[in-house]
Amino acid sequence: MATQGRKNVHGKAGVRFKAPYTASKDKSMVRNVVSELIVYGRVTVIYPVAKQIQVQADKLVTLAKRGDLHARRLAASVVRPGIVETSTGVSALDKLFNEIGPEFKERNGGYTRVLKLVNRKGDNAPMAIVEFVR
C-alpha cells in the first residue's frame, strides 16, 4: 500500500517538509542585500547568506572596475534600481561604478570581508557582517 503523504509533491510519499526558500526567492534576497551592501557599505545577515553575498558582490566590483557599457548593463541586471542612499540620493548602480569601482582599481580580488558574530538570540542563527575592505 502506498504511503500517505502530501499530494502533488515529488515522490510517492510526498515530502516531509517544505523548503522555506525557492530558488527565485533566494536569488531575489541576494540581489536585495547586495544592493544594500553597495549603498551602505556594510550589512548584517546570517552566515550562509553572507557567503552568497560575498561572491555576488565581488563579481559586481569586478564589473565596476571594467567600467564599460556592457559591464554596467550586466551589473544593472543584478543591482536593484529602487535602493537609493537617502542622504545623497545616489542609486546603488551609480555608487558602484562611480565610487567603489575606481577605489578597488589596483586590487586583484578580495573586495569584501565576512566577520562572524555571536549567534542570534531568538533562533540561534549564526550571524555575520559583510563589508567592503577599505
Answer yes or no: are the C-beta atoms of 66 and 106 closer than 8 Å.
no
Whether residue 12 has pLDDT greater than 60: no
pTM of the entire predicted model: 0.83
pLDDT at 126: 95
Q: Which of the four pLDDT bands, split at 50, 70 and 90, describes residue 24? A: confident
CA 84 vs. chain centroid, Å, equals 16
In Å, how far are 64, 120, 134 from 94, measured between CA atoms? 10, 33, 19
Residue owning grid cell 580580488? 109
In Å, how far from its chain's centre is CA 110?
16
**Using an 8 Å Cβ cutoff, are 31 and 80 in contact?**
yes
The residue among 79, 97, 82 whose CA lies nearest residue 30 is 79
Q: How many residues does the chain have?
A: 134
pLDDT in the model for residue 23: 83
**Pick from 19, 22, 96: nearest CA to 60:** 96
Domains of the chain with bracketed CATH: 23-132 (3.90.1030.10)
Residue 46 near residue 123, CB atoms below 8 Å: no
Spatial separation of the C-alpha atoms in residues 29 and 31, rounded to whole Å: 5
Average pLDDT in the 70-97 region?
94
